[in-house]
Structure 1
Amino acid sequence: MRDKSVKEIKEIADNLSEDKYLEFIEELKGDERKSVNKIAISLAKKLDKIRLEEERLERINAYENEGYEKGYTYIAGVDEAGRGPLAGPVVAAVVVLKQGTKIPGINDSKKLSEDKRNELFDIIKEEALDYGIGIVGNEEIDEYNILNATYMAMRKALNCLKKQPDYILADAVHIPDVDIEQNSIIKGDAKSISIAAASILAKVTRDSLMYQYDEIYPEYGFAHHKGYGTAEHYKAIDENGITPIHRKSFLKNVIY
């Protein structure tokens, strides 16, 4: 590599496939040029990140692997989005992945940017053996309360599956009236790939609905806050009253 300019070396490094990083770093060893050393260090840091991500993807398959070891064959992850907002539905999703599936970047939807969630949304649907989405609106939330409405959304999502799972991994809940073995995992959306996948499908689906509501009720700013109780949202309620998608049970102290 010493016969190549720093610019040429950088160009090679920028276009290098990940599996060639280590070999290229070895080739750069002994080159006394500081700029070349920086390129090698940069590649080494990228390699460390790749290895850390690989280790994380192994860890977040642990609950699924534990299920397979117990003899389960069709393992579903379940999560929801939208329990806290003042307006809009609660959305639940269920995802069944192939054993050993690894999707780089997948994580609790709250830890990801909107662009990353949207990217992973399509990848998850392509990778999934099966998935389902359940939506329960604000009127049912007011009638049955948010916890029961969340369970309703989860059961709806499960009913969308082509095949009933034999094991459910759920994020910090046990879904009542479901005769399937369940494992409730605290912070499961960051610990289980199936739950993380479900959290992304639920979040992206709900956000998409709130963008649609923003077009119907533009003065409320639903595209920004997605129905959560921000200062902007409360101000809009004060000025315009409530909409048909607001949860009245969440607004008992608000005059409308």
Structure 2
Amino acid sequence: MTAAPTLDVERSLLAEGASAVIGVDEVGRGAIAGVVAVGACALLTVTDAPPERLRDSKLLSPARRAEVEPQVRAWAAAVAVGEAEPAEIDDLGIVAALGLAGRRALIALHEAGVPVADATVLLDGSHDWLTPALSLPPRIVTRVKGDRDCASVAGASVVAKQHRDALMAADHERWPVYGWAGNKGYGSAEHLAAVAAHGASPRHRVTWLRGPTLLDGLDS
């Protein structure tokens, strides 16, 4: 297994005076169906070690993620997942929809008692898509490979991935033809073929179904 994420960055941010560190990561950005989900994992201290098998969600098997996710919830001060619906992604675009989902996750943490306004948000990646969605944003620090290196961000990725996968499994029961239990809304060959054969569902991001491959199939 790859090296475990550490709390080095979180310790540094807390030492600088943050009242909490909130790791944030998104799941489902590149899917053509389903919500985009943003996970948030809040730490008030770093006295407890993270779950031993915690890794970026992309590095864990489904069985391992299911094992680790409740451990993350028990370890963190609080966790939350915000969503943006397919129609919101179509209306706003994916970057603004990410911000909307992230804002909803931070509101949920605030309602759980996390001092979000005085926290530092540790955001995976190099692009700060969260600040434009917030009227009074906390300090936001971007971190490339944060989901690999930082335990709070890895925790956010696991919680968000489990949450979104469960939503896609439930949607699969209603629209099984698209195979969402397996592809989780991403554009696999089978998924694209099902869209070409049956058209889009209410859970598809309609503006994303306009690439040359899909148009060729839909027009045939």
TM-score between both structures, scaled by the size of structure 1: 0.75
Aligned AA for 2:102? Answer: M
Higher relative contact order (CA 8 A, sep 6+): 2
Identity %: 32
Q: Write the mapping of 1:1-256 to structure 2, written as runs, cut at 5 A.
A: 56-57=4-5, 60-97=6-43, 98-100=45-47, 101-161=49-109, 162=112, 163-165=114-116, 166-172=119-125, 173-174=127-128, 175-176=130-131, 177=134, 178-253=136-211, 254-255=214-215, 256=218
The one-letter amino acid of 1:229's match is: G
Aligned residues: 202
Structure 2, gaps ≥5 residues long: none
Shift of 1:112: 0.4
Deviation at 1:106, TM superposition (A): 0.7
Q: Retained in 1: the 8 A contact 2:19–2:115? A: no
Name structure 1 gaps, 5 residues minimum.
Answer: 1-48
Kindly name which structure, 1 or 2, has the bigger radius of gyration based on alpha carbons.
Answer: 1
Cα deviation, residue 73, structure 1 = 2.6
TM-superposed deviation, 1:243: 0.4
Secondary structure of 2:164's partner? Answer: helix
Alignment partners' CA distance in 1, 2:84 and 2:199: 23
- Amino acid in structure 1 at the alignment position of 2:37: V
Q: Deviations over 1:159-205 (max 9, x none)?
A: 00122331110101321225211110011100110000000011110
Tell whether the 8 Å contact from 2:50 to 2:72 is kept in structure 1 after alignment.
Answer: no
Query: Residue by residue, what CA displacement relative to the aligned partner does 1:92-143 show, whole Å, maximum 9, x if unpaired?
Result: 1111134133210111100000011111111111112111110111000000
- Tell me if the contact between 1:158 and 1:164 (Cα under 8 Å) persists in the aligned partners: no
Structure 1: which 4+ aligned runs deviate by more than 6 Å? Answer: none
Aligned Cα root-mean-square deviation (Å): 1.6
Deviations 1:191-225 (A, max 9, x none): 11000000001111000000001100111100010
Amino acid at match of 1:82: G
